[in-house]
């Protein structure tokens, strides 16, 4: 079989929870050899679940499973000198170290980029944190929630006016930071020969969103004119219809802005007279009459299912989509036809369905194929292969609580 | 060690970017920030709609003066070619023969319609990496689905998780998935580039924006896979109920808020102490995460009543000092004046060749060896002479003819 595109890249992940593990997973899914170091108590996401039947078990956490496929797992207590020494020895042989500890933690362990690069000048160290390695908030405590709301994204784009700004209901900032880190980190690996060695890649999850999502479309105007906008609770307040509306069995994302789309929607709805009124021919005028338009549309959507609305609108070229639940998205025939979902055998979970490769590389396979590691599953294999430790040495390390 | 040719890891990589609007241009931008020579192929015959998005520099409405367009496209160069004209397409192919990568974010079949599909292009550049990022991929029953970036997320389950917990999904008011996929798309290209370098083989990447974004739903998907459950909107609660309190609470002033995440029991004790240990917060049942989750609504209500009197920044500093993960919720104007983003140079003022200054985002990742220089967004056709004369070797007379006949346009 053709090896994955990143075959031959050796990665050491000292990550926990979401951001660094997802970055490691992206590299592992496309063929990098990723060894994940966990403390003897395990990555805390092993405690997050979801667990089958809600029965907590550090080997059956769905979050840990999803984020750590294709990796090998070892345990090391980095609070011990021996544990840190072994981590340094592994890093000396690695192309990439990925970590998401609070800034300063890696240095306190003697595992910061400067120390590791002294022994391994080609090393790329990827640090992913809510706020970054520098700046006044670098020593602040932070989580995915803090990062997201420091980015401007929620205040500008999500929530009703007067109510709390909202995040996505998933770890949006951590995922965004992880993807950013994987891209910039892989570029640093790819270009090592060009630039004369490895380097430290400092990713702030909040900054990536603040710049590329919020900044891109808002910051120039705000700097020049001193004006800025806030969330409205409506999908697109300037044009209509462009928002989420309730329907018979859930919700649809109703979008019909261009004249052809509006007329297509009218056809789907049986050309009601009100839709042909002159002042409703323009998306801006429709938005100014949103209090009239939306209730009339809802009257119709409430009589139809999300699938029916989506299918009939799409057939008329109107970009309306159903707001799928997670189950509806997962079971959609389109994803089945594309083979997006996959199944993986896991020693404790049995056969598990998983989301497949995030993108298709036809010439080089990708996506999860091996389950997330059990806690310390590859201690003997990795410490034997990389550090030359035999059974007796491993037993001693185990006895001393290092692994 | 020899002196490197450049500090930028992708120097020497050339990209033809047919991307339009937002996601495709960000793919090019990402590679461009990292040193690739990225040439957006566009035309005055059909000006990209984001070039006409207000506000404009100094208020002058012009396709080379849209401030948001410049921020989102910076890092891309620009050559202008009228692809409706056969000679325009032929020149595009000549350029692609000298590129490593082609990027496009049209619907499936559009590039084929321009005779610039994968089969056409690999004939002129056998080891080409071609990157296509249609909404739902190049194959499958929904491949021709019509969506906008801001509603594409509805097909992934993601939108069903956004809202206040009353079951009503709240729309995210812009295409989060566009820059997300733009950056992740560059990762896909880098992986394929490495494959090419190792094997000599190019490939056509099938990047479904739906599938890439759906990864963000991973933890919620696992609850479906393992327990058959689909979550609804969660407000700002922790998506795995592993932290409480966990939310956004009001502060003094107009639309001022603070985000607080209590990740462990010590942090809860610290927060209660900061509040002056009121009776409701020191109830023994709240000492554990399970107890706090069981009383979450009341807890959030009590906390909101307390935070409401404070300045958001001041309270964040005070809680941070006490060991609680608390941060102000920033609005757009705050991004420009916040000391942290100023210290990191997140937003930069650049001088545009047309004579105005504009604020765009700079290198939003800090790299210790690579000195990343972000220049203003491209003018239409700013790289024409360098590319058509310099790279393709077109002489002055023919170049003039191509411009006059609006093929280079």
| pLDDT tens readout for residues B120-168 | 999 999 999 999 999 999 999 999 999 999 999 999 999 999 999 888 9
Answer yes or no: is pLDDT of A288 > 60.
yes
Residues B297, B303, B306, B309, Cα dihedral to 10°: -90
A234 within a domain of the structure (yes/no):
no
Do A313 and A347 fall within a single domain? Answer: no
Q: Cα distance from A1 to chain B (closest Cα, Å)?
A: 14
Last residue of one domain, picked from the residues A269, A304, A329: A329
Contact B211 A199 (CB under 8 A): no
Asked if A314 is an interface residue toward chain B (Cβ–Cβ < 8 A), one would say yes
- Nearest-CA distance from A80 to chain B in Å? 24
* Domain co-membership, A199 together with A109: yes
CATH no. for residue A281? 3.30.1540.10
Kindly state the tokens that stand for B252: 């003094």
B62-121: per-residue pLDDT in tens?
A: 999 999 999 999 999 999 999 999 999 999 999 999 999 999 999 999 999 999 999 999
Choosing from A294, A310, A329, the residue where a domain stops is A329
Q: Are residues A98 and A150 in the same domain?
A: yes
Report the CATH number that the domain containing residue A77 is assigned in CATH. 3.40.50.10540
A335 touches chain B (CB under 8 A): yes
Using CB atoms within 10 A of its CB, is residue B189 exposed (0-12), middle (13-18) or buried (19+)?
buried
Answer whether residue A2 is part of any domain: no
Which domains can be identified in chain B, with CATH numbers? 14-207+345-404 (3.40.50.10540), 246-337 (3.30.1540.10)
Mean pLDDT for the stretch of residues A29-48: 98
Residues A156 and A196 in one domain: yes
Size of interface A-B (CB pairs under 8 A): 533
Cα gap A345→A58, rounded to integer Å: 17
For residues A337-362, average pLDDT: 98
Q: Out of A170, A183, A208, whose CB is closest to B216?
A: A170
A314 in a domain, yes or no?
yes
The answer on A345 and A289 residing in a single domain is: no
Residue of A nearest to B9 (CA): A191
Number of domains observed in the structure of chain A: 2
Looking at the fold, whether A345 and A280 belong to one and the same domain comes out as: no
Look at residue A177 and tell me whether its pLDDT is greater than 50: yes
Say yes or no: A196 and A308 in one domain.
no
**What residues of B are in contact with residue A156 (Cβ under 8 Å)?**
173-174, 331-332
Residues in chain B closer than 8 A to A322 (CB atoms): 154-155
User: Is there a contact between A137 and A190 (Cβ–Cβ < 8 Å)?
Assistant: no
Asked if the interface predicted TM-score (ipTM) of this complex is over 0.95, the answer is: yes
Chain A residues closer than 8 Å to B323 by CB: 141
Low-confidence ranges of chain B (pLDDT < 70): 1-5
Q: What range does the domain containing A367 cover?
A: 10-212+339-399
**Residue ending a domain, choose from A283, A305, A329:** A329
Q: E strands along B157-286, which residues?
A: 203-206, 246-250, 257-261
Give the residue among A135, A128, A141 at the shortest CA–CA distance from A180. A128
Kindly state whether residues A207 and A312 are assigned to the same domain: no
Which structure tokens are listed for A387? Answer: 């550090």
In this prediction, residue A1 carries a pLDDT of: 60
| Token pair listed for A164 | 């709390």
pLDDT in tens, A144-174: 999 999 999 999 999 999 999 999 999 999 9
User: What pLDDT score was predicted for residue A365?
Assistant: 86
């Amino acid at each position: 079989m053709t090896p994955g595109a990143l075959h031959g890249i050796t990665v050491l992940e000292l990550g926990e929870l979401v951001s660094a593990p997802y970055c490691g997973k992206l590299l592992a899914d496309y063929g990098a050899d990723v060894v994940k170091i966990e403390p003897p108590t395990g990555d805390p996401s092993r405690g997050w679940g979801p667990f089958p039947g809600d029965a907590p078990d550090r080997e059956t956490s769905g979050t840990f499973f999803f984020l750590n496929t294709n990796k090998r797992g070892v345990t090391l207590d980095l609070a011990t000198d021996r544990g840190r020494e072994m981590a340094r020895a592994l890093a000396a042989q690695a192309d990439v170290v990925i970590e998401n500890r609070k800034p300063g933690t890696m240095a306190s362990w003697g595992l910061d980029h400067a120390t590791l690069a002294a022994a391994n000048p080609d090393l790329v160290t990827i640090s992913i944190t809510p706020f970054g390695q520098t700046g006044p908030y670098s020593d602040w405590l932070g989580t995915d929630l803090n990062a997201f709301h420091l980015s401007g994204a929620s205040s500008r784009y999500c929530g009703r006016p007067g109510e709390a700004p909202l995040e996505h209901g998933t770890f949006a900032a951590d995922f965004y930071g992880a993807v950013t880190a994987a891209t910039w980190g892989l570029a640093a690996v790819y270009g090592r020969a060009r630039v004369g060695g490895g380097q430290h890649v400092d990713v702030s999850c909040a900054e990536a969103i603040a710049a590329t999502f919020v900044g891109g479309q808002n910051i120039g105007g705000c700097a020049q004119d001193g004006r800025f906008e806030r969330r409205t609770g409506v999908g697109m307040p300037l044009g209509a219809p462009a928002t989420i509306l309730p329907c018979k069995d859930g919700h649809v994302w109703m979008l019909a802005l261009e004249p052809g789309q509006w007329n297509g929607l009218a056809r789907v709805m049986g050309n009601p007279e009100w839709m042909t009124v002159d002042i409703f021919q323009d998306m801006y005028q429709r938005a100014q009459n949103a209090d009239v338009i939306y209730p009339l549309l809802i009257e119709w959507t409430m009589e139809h299912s999300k699938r029916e609305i989506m299918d009939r609108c799409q057939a008329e070229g109107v970009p309306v989509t159903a707001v799928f639940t997670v189950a509806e998205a997962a079971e959609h025939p389109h994803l089945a036809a594309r083979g997006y979902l996959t199944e993986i055998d896991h020693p404790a979970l049995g056969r598990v369905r998983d989301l497949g490769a995030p993108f298709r590389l036809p010439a080089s396979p990708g996506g999860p194929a091996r389950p997330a590691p059990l806690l310390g599953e590859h201690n003997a294999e990795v410490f034997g292969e990389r550090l030359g430790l035999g059974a007796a040495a491993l037993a001693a390390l185990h006895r001393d609580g290092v692994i | 060690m020899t002196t490197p040719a450049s500090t930028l890891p992708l120097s020497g990589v050339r990209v033809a970017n047919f991307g339009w609007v937002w996601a495709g241009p960000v793919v090019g931008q990402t590679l461009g920030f990292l040193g690739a020579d990225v040439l957006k192929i566009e035309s005055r015959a059909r000006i990209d709609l984001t070039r006409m998005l207000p506000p404009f520099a100094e208020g002058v409405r012009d396709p080379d003066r849209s401030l948001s367009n410049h921020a989102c496209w910076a890092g891309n160069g620009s050559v202008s070619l009228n692809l409706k004209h056969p000679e325009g397409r032929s020149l595009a192919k000549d350029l692609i023969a000298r590129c490593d990568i082609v990027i496009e974010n049209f619907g499936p079949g559009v590039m084929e319609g321009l005779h610039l599909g994968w089969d056409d292009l690999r004939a002129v550049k056998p080891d080409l990496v071609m990157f296509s990022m249609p909404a739902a991929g190049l194959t499958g029953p929904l491949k021709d689905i019509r969506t906008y970036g801001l509603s594409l997320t509805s097909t992934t389950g993601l939108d069903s998780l956004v809202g206040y917990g009353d079951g009503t999904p709240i729309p995210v008011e812009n295409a989060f998935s566009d820059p997300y996929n733009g950056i992740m798309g560059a990762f896909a290209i880098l992986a394929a580039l490495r494959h090419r370098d190792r094997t000599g083989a190019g490939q056509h990447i099938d990047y479904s924006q739906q599938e890439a974004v759906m990864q963000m739903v991973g933890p919620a998907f696992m609850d479906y896979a393992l327990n058959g459950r689909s979550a609804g909107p969660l407000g700002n609660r922790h998506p795995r109920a592993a932290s409480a309190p966990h939310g956004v609470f009001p502060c003094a002033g107009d639309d001022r808020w603070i985000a607080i995440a209590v990740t462990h029991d010590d942090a809860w004790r610290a927060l209660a102490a900061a509040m002056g240990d009121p009776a409701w917060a020191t109830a023994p049942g709240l000492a554990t995460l399970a107890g706090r989750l069981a009383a979450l609504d009341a807890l959030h209500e009590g906390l909101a009543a307390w935070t409401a009197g404070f300045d958001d920044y001041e309270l964040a500093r005070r809680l941070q000092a006490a060991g609680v993960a608390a941060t102000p919720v920033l609005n757009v104007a705050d991004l420009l004046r916040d000391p942290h983003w100023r210290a990191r140079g997140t937003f930069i003022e650049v001088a545009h060749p047309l004579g105005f200054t504009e604020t765009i985002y700079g290198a939003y990742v800090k790299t210790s060896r690579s000195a990343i220089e972000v220049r203003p967004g491209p003018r239409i056709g700013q790289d024409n002479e360098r590319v058509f004369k310099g790279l393709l070797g077109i002489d002055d007379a023919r170049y003039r003819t191509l411009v006059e006949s609006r093929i280079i346009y």
